[in-house]
Each structure stands twice: as structure tokens, then as C-alpha cells.
Amino acid sequence: MKKKILLDVDGVLGDFHGAANKLIFDLFKLDIKPEKFITWDVTDVLESKEMKDDLNHEITKPGFCSSIEPYQEAMEAVRQLREIGTCEIVFVTSPNKNGIQWVHERDAWLIKHFEAKYEEIIHVYNKRLVSGNLLIDDKPKNIEEWTTANPQGKALLWDQPYNKYSSLERVDNWNDIVDLIEEKKPPHFTCHYCGLHDENVECGGIYYCPNPLCLGPGAAYFRSKMKSYEESENGKHSVNPSEIIMFGEWLLNGDIPDKMKIAISKSIKCLLHFEDEESVKDIIDC
């Protein structure tokens, strides 16, 4: 199964703040430097409520969404990601509630600049409702909510002057994202069982612990992610078998190296060796 990468649009693929800044100049003759935008909300640079309302009103008008300049680097990166072929790209974008043409303009914009297909575009107010393996978004709140709702996935904050206040994990160039998808740079690895931390794990992932002394290669990661996983004070471990099956299938359907699949398969077989729920205990010993 291909990895699903969710790409936010405004602020990640296109210069929303730049387009809004042009409106601010046209409306109020204010020349605001990009670094003056220190929050995600573009209207925060304006002083009065009337000015904020005027700007918001202009943004909802036909033509604004289409006028947003796409980032050239983003266009190239999406082209590269398509070529790699190991990921499914989904454009996840929040529509403007007051601009009835917004959705249609956004569709046309994505088709024109990113060769998007309609079925790759999701217009949604709550991005946490969309699951995937990786989310790139410039709004800290979206990253936080999505991460909570999708703990199996990874979310990175796209670096912008207006989100510097956030301490969330961020990314500031497309090469790192392409490398992440190609698995040239695996995510930092921390084994939830033996505690091994390694920033350069060649096996490429968070699924398999390379520590030969770790008793739970493969199993360690998915045990730690299971909701029903429990570890008692005396070191006994238990987990619900139905969750083992579901999680194991999810892992094995993923685009992961064969040696990890072997380790995971062994671990699943080991765990499922116990047939009834009550007896799925002491999985460390198997």
C-alpha cells in the first residue's frame, strides 16, 4: 500500500499571505514586510475591526483564490513525489466559508499548477478527519489536532515566518520531504521496548528495532502503539488479539522493507500463538 501524504495548500503550496498582502496594499496602502506577519491569521497585522472585515470580505470575492501564486519549489516537489511513485498525494485544503466559488477556484488552481485530479482533492474544515501517513501544514493547530487524531502518522509544520512561535517539529524545504518519502532519511528511531535511540537507522523506520539485544524486534513498536497494551508492575504484558490482527495487517500492507515484514510477521505469529484473549500474556517470553 502506498503512503498517503496529505498536503495543505495555503501557505504550503501557494503564497496565501503574499496574495493577502497585495490586497492589504490595494485596500489600505500599507506596505507590510512578510516578516511582520507573526501569526497565521493575516488580519492580525491590521489594527481595526473594520480593516480586518474589509480584508476578509475581499478574500471571499471571486478571483482571489485563483490569484494566489504557487511556490515553484512545491510544484517541482509534487512532480518529484509523483515520479517516485511510492506515495499517494492528497491535497487537503480548508475552503473559505463565505466564498461560494472558492472550492471551484481551488480545484482549478490545483489542476493547473499541480496537475491534480479531482479525486486527489479534499476540501475539509477539520483536517484531523483525514487519515494519512504524513501531513504537511503551516497551521500549528492543524498539526496538533491531526497528530492527536492520527497517532500512527507523522505531521510536520511547514516553516513560515508566521508560525515561528510554535515549537512543533517543522520542515523548511521540500528535499527533506522527498527524502522522507524515499526513506533516504528515516525518521528518528526510538525503540519503545529497549529505549534505543538512533537518528541514522538504515532499516528505514520505526517498525523494527536494530538492537540485537532487544527482545522485541518488530513486536516492540506495535505493542507500544496498541490501545489495549498493558504492562503490569511485575513486568507482565498483555494485549487484545483482535487489535494485534488489525495492527499487524496495517503494518504488513504498508510500504516497508521485506526484512521488517519478516520481523513483524514473526512477532504477529508469536502473539497469535495464544488463541484466547485471556491467554495473550507474557508475550515477551515467546
* Least CB distance to Mg ion at residue 138 (A): 4
Closest distance between Mg ion and the C-beta of residue 52, in Å?
A: 19
Instruction: Out of 3, 11, 24, 105, name the contact with Mg ion by CB under 5 A.
Output: 11
CB of 241 to Mg ion, least distance (A): 41
Quote the DSSP letter at residue 101. T
Q: Which is nearer to Mg ion, 166 or 267 (CB)?
A: 166
Judged by CB under 5 A, the stretch of 5-13, 72-80, 204-212, 227-235 that binds Mg ion is 5-13
If phi > 0 it is left, if psi is from -120 to 50 it is alpha, else beta; for residue 102 that is alpha
Report yes or no: 12 and 163 within 8 Å, Cβ to Cβ. Answer: no
Q: Which is nearer to Mg ion, 69 or 255 (CB)?
A: 69
What is the spatial distance between Cα 227 and Cα 239, in angstroms, rounded to a whole number?
8
**Residue 202 backbone phi and psi in degrees, to 5:** -75, -20
Tally the residues of the chain. Answer: 286
The 105-144 contact track toward Mg ion, x by CB under 5 A, reads ---------------------------------x------
Of these, 3, 6, 7, 8, which contacts Mg ion (CB under 5 A)? Answer: 8
For residue 240, CA distances in Å to 150, 263, 276 come to 20, 20, 9
Instruction: Provide the edge-to-edge strand list for the sheet that holds 121-123.
Output: 121-123, 87-93, 3-7, 134-137, 154-158, 170-171
Answer for the pair 161, 38: CB distance below 8 angstroms, yes or no: yes
Q: Which is nearer to Mg ion, 137 or 206 (CB)?
A: 137
Query: Tell me, what amino acid is at 21?
Result: N
Applying CB under 5 A, what is the total number of residues that bind Mg ion?
Answer: 4
Nearest distance from residue 101's CB to Mg ion, in Å? 19
Min dist CB 33 to Mg ion, Å, is 20
Q: How far is the CB of 42 from Mg ion (least distance, A)?
A: 11
Q: How far is the CB of 68 from Mg ion (least distance, A)?
A: 11
Judged by CB under 5 A, which stretch of 9-17, 55-63, 171-179, 252-260 contacts Mg ion? 9-17
Q: Which is nearer to Mg ion, 8 or 105 (CB)?
A: 8
- Determine the interface stretch with Mg ion among 1-9, 27-35, 56-64, 276-284 (rule: CB under 5 A): 1-9
Cα–Cα separations (whole angstroms), residue 5 to 14, 90, 127, 177, 245: 17, 6, 13, 10, 25
Largest CA distance in the chain: 73
Determine, following the binding rule CB under 5 A, whether residue 15 of this chain makes contact with Mg ion.
no
Taking the C-alpha atoms of residue 88 and residue 81, their distance in angstroms, rounded to an integer, is: 9
CB of 13 to Mg ion, least distance (A): 9
Cβ closest to Mg ion, residue 91 vs residue 222: 91
Question: What is the CA angle 281-282-283, rounded to 5?
Answer: 90
Measured between alpha carbons, how far is 217 from 266 in angstroms, rounded to an integer?
9
Round to whole Å and give the CA distance between 92 and 8. 5
User: Which three cell numbers, joined as nine digits, stand for 235?
Assistant: 513486568
Region from 6-14, 172-180, 217-225, 237-245 binding Mg ion, contact rule CB under 5 A = 6-14
Residues near Mg ion (CB under 5 A): 8, 10-11, 138
